Chain A
């Protein structure tokens, strides 16, 4: 079990990949969701096409396009950055769907009520729409986070030394694929469970009767 420190090092890279990819997905996904909810028709169309295209291409192909394709037109990224961009872009398409759904699930009459009190549109969004959408978005975001975590293993193909590749290195010297891959799997499992538990606790803490899953199940 002398290989554990190496695996944990790989796990750290996996966590970093996950974090930055989700962050990029958030930074792109929120404006996309806004554009699709409040933007003019043409913007909504363009975003819709972007989402469809990004979601229809296998992630590995996106990663290869960025890492091996783009250098041919003079755009070159280190493998870690290339992986974050690829996974982040893909996640943005899913995250924007989540935020869009969360915003649109708040009834129009609440917005009207906020405006009728004399709130500006921005204030109405901040005081009424946002606090509710965040709560609604937490469970699907937990889900998306777990998916992104698992998808970071594809960065292996770009040579990023993340958890899976560290496992591969160890196997090439120890020739013991079964216990090593089982350990790798266990580390992924622990990380996924941690994400779900953390966000689950967060969800509970923010819970308000009538908002979120409870309402949708009924």
Chain B
């Protein structure tokens, strides 16, 4: 997986304030092609703001972001967004479109693909997340886990260089979390580059290449899961991981 060490995402010294409230206080990280990094940290720490800064759904104040070597902190915003998938905690599915329609709409409206090609590609991505059978169903007719898998297929269909996940399973009933994590795990194994905010420790432990622990707008510590779980450099990391494991369990696997 890591024979290709190309850097896909590089973030340098990112700052963001809302009013007087400094939420990101200089965050730097990078992600190689095919890598999977998990961001953990207490609520209100700036994890969502960080992800939203990357594709400028929320514009950063300071710092630089590079995608595949190109600076994206300025420049054509719509073109950059095509190359970065985003999976939302509350799915953000388009309620007036079927599952297929949701996956297809970006191909039609943004990539200007013809209907036949768009259909084919969209069906392929639905198959990839196991929802071929549900192609004609509307979001209101799907379970939470199915909705989120449509959300993932929609991101995949754009053939992004990177997918950002913002707590993709936090809005789900516990029994539906597994199906979404499985899809994400498969993606990771297929070599998709992913940056995932999650509290799912099982996923972080077994799937991620690195865990990034954020608190109060800083990265406290980052490293391979083994190191963070077994031998963290900072005491606070141990405390937080301990608390998470108590709250959410070890996760299966």
* A interface residues with partner B (beta carbon < 8 Å): 106-107, 109-110, 112-120, 123, 127-128, 131-132, 135, 208-211, 215
Contact = CB atoms under 8 A, between A and B. Distances in A.
B195 to A, nearest CB: 14
Given A113-B86, A127-B109, A210 B81 contact: no
A117 B85 CA distance: 7
B148 to A, nearest CB: 12
Contacts of A132: 94-96
Interface string B216-248: 000000000000000000000000000000000
B105 A117 contact: yes
B140 A117 contact: no
B96 A117 contact: no
Interface string B75-97: 00011111011101011111110
A117 B106 contact: yes
A118 B82 contact: yes
B198 to A, nearest CB: 18
B105 A127 contact: yes
Contact of B138 (A109, A115, A127, A208): A208
Nearest to B157: A117
Given A209-B138, A210-B139, A215-B140, A116 B96 contact: no
Nearest to B140: A210
Contacts of A127: 94, 105, 109
Contact of B86 (A107, A110, A116, A211): A116
A190 B93 CA distance: 41
A10 B39 CA distance: 71
Nearest to A130: B96
Given A113-B154, A116-B85, 19 more contacts: A107-B92, A110-B92, A110-B94, A110-B95, A112-B88, A113-B86, A113-B93, A115-B57, A115-B81, A116-B84, A116-B86, A117-B82, A118-B78, A118-B106, A118-B158, A119-B106, A119-B110, A132-B95, A210-B139
B141 interface: yes
Interface of B: 55, 57, 78-82, 84-86, 88, 90-96, 105-106, 109-110, 138-141, 151, 154, 158
Contact of B94 (A114, A116, A120): A114
B140 A112 contact: no
Contacts of B82: 117-118
Contacts of B80: 118
Nearest to A135: B96
B150 to A, nearest CB: 11
Contacts of A112: 57, 86, 88, 92
Contacts of B86: 112-113, 116
A120 to B, nearest CB: 6
Contacts of A131: 96
A123 B109 contact: yes
A119 B94 contact: no
Nearest to B58: A112
Nearest to B86: A116
Q: Which 8 A-B pairs have the closest CB atoms?
A: A210-B140, A113-B92, A118-B82, A117-B106, A116-B86, A109-B92, A118-B81, A118-B110
Contacts of A106: 95
A210 B110 contact: no
10 contacts: A110-B95, A113-B92, A114-B94, A116-B86, A117-B106, A117-B154, A118-B80, A132-B96, A210-B95, A211-B140
B90 A109 contact: yes
B93 A117 contact: no
A54 B81 CA distance: 43
B61 to A, nearest CB: 20
Contact of B81 (A109, A117, A211, A215): A117
With most chain A CB atoms within 10 A of its CB, the pick from B105, B151, B158 is B105
Contacts of B151: 113
A45 to B, nearest CB: 21
A109 B94 CA distance: 9
Contacts of B78: 118-120
A116 B140 contact: no
A119 B109 contact: yes
A215 B109 CA distance: 27
